[in-house]
A and B are shown apart, each in its own frame.
Chain A
Amino acid sequence: AQSVTQLGSHVSVSEGALVLLRCNYSSSVPPYLFWYVQYPNQGLQLLLKYTTGATLVKGINGFEAEFKKSETSFHLTKPSAHMSDAAEYFCAVSDYWNFGNEKLTFGTGTRLTIIP
């Protein structure tokens, strides 16, 4: 079964600084990987996803993530934080090619705070 570990339940960065949210996964088959964002009192929205092909994936709002198979990682980055980036971020993995067991597994989330 797949699993996801998000290092750091809370991360604080200054406005304009680099954002780095860490995600490591385990999967028995080539994974599909996702980052979702949740703003207060809302549902989750897809930021970006990796399926196959190019390992650097660009998403909405200036975020990107790189799939590193050797490190089993899919860290999320943004060069310059904005106040509007304050939210909770969830990494998820899908065993897409594991027929009958393709369900997404979510990490426990990282709350990002932006310091003015």
Chain B
Amino acid sequence: IAGITQAPTSQILAAGRRMTLRCTQDMRHNAMYWYRQDLGLGLRLIHYSNTAGTTGKGEVPDGYSVSRANTDDFPLTLASAVPSQTSVYFCASSVGPGDTQYFGPGTRLTVL
């Protein structure tokens, strides 16, 4: 069982470009999440999905969008990347909202 996979592992991106970070889980969890991790700020929730077909905004949603077409996949899209979106992005999933979250290995994104 792989758990949660994220792709790419790392990426350098020019400002203004569109980028989609991929996240796939094989645990059949209902809920999925996207966080960004920045030094001194801990993890901040970007978007979440409590079940397939629904999404919600987290603490820092501006500049990001998500979709949840099925249970397993939860891609995060940056429509027009800006340098302040340079961060490490983590995808997570849980059986249900508020339950233990299981994290992917992360994507390190640099926007120049």
Contacts and interface: CB of A to CB of B under 8 A. Distances in A.
Contact of A108 (B42, B45, B58): B42
B42 A103 contact: no
A45 interface: yes
Interface stretch (A18-26, A62-70, A73-81, A89-97): A89-97
Contacts, number: 49
A95 B104 CA distance: 23
A32 B98 contact: yes
Contacts of B53: none
Contact of B90 (A43, A103, A108): A43
Nearest to B98: A102
9 contacts: A36-B103, A43-B90, A43-B104, A44-B90, A44-B103, A46-B100, A95-B98, A102-B97, A103-B58
Nearest to A108: B42
Contacts of A44: 43, 90, 92, 101, 103
A106 B42 contact: yes
Interface residues of B, number: 22
A36 to B, nearest CB: 8
Interface size class of A (residues with CB under 8 A): 20 to 34
Given A96-B99, A108-B41, 16 more contacts: A32-B98, A32-B99, A36-B103, A41-B106, A42-B106, A43-B4, A43-B104, A43-B105, A44-B103, A45-B103, A96-B98, A102-B96, A103-B45, A103-B48, A103-B98, A104-B101
Contacts of A106: 42-43
A82 interface: no
B13 to A, nearest CB: 20
Contact of A43 (B40, B45, B98, B103): B103
Smallest CB-CB A-B distances: 9 pairs:
A102-B98, A43-B103, A108-B42, A96-B98, A102-B97, A94-B98, A44-B103, A106-B43, A43-B105
